[in-house]
Amino acid sequence: MRTQPSVEVGTEWGIVSARQAGRELAKEVGFNNVDQARIATAISELARNIYLYTENGVIELEVVEKDALKGMKIIARDDGPGIENIRDVMEDGYSSSGGLGAGLPGVKRLLDEFDIESELGNGTVISTIKWLR
């Protein structure tokens, strides 16, 4: 298991560097063109949430292996206000940022595993995995 240096998302440029780092690692792991786009897009969505709602946050990228499977783990970690209504944000069409509201449910559909933990006042950790087909 290998951890890539995490990418700080404090500015809009952080979003760009996070998804570029994600795409590069995805390429290295051997994901095809479409999966690379899925991963880069998902990271972009996660990083944008951090940028919009919190002061500090990071995107961590990691290569994972389970049995014969190889994959890429993407963790978005912030110390922001936390999410009050997780069920709401996981519903299609919900948006508190004026985006298309595809954010988190969209991310869930793009990747294979999706896990969210949030505590009011203590931040949010979203942990996701895309497995190599």
Give the binding site for another protein (CB under 8 A): 12-13, 15-16, 19-20, 23, 32-34, 36-38, 40-41, 44-45, 48, 92, 99-103, 105-107, 109-110, 133
Nearest-approach distance from CB 12 to another protein, in angstroms = 5
Alpha-carbon gap, residue 4 to 30, rounded angstroms: 16
Q: Which is nearer to another protein, 113 or 119 (CB)?
A: 113
The CB-of-28 to another protein minimum distance in angstroms stands at 16
C-beta contacts of 25-29 below 8 A and 24+ residues apart: 25/61, 25/63, 25/72, 26/72, 26/130, 29/63, 29/70, 29/71, 29/72, 29/132
Which tokens in the block code for residue 19? 């998804």
Taking the complex as a whole, how short is the minimal distance between the CB of residue 29 and another protein, in angstroms? 16
Q: Within 10 Å of residue 3's Cβ, how many Cβ atoms?
A: 11
Quote the least distance from Cβ 33 to another protein, whole Å. 5
> Smaller CB distance to another protein: residue 92 or 119?
92
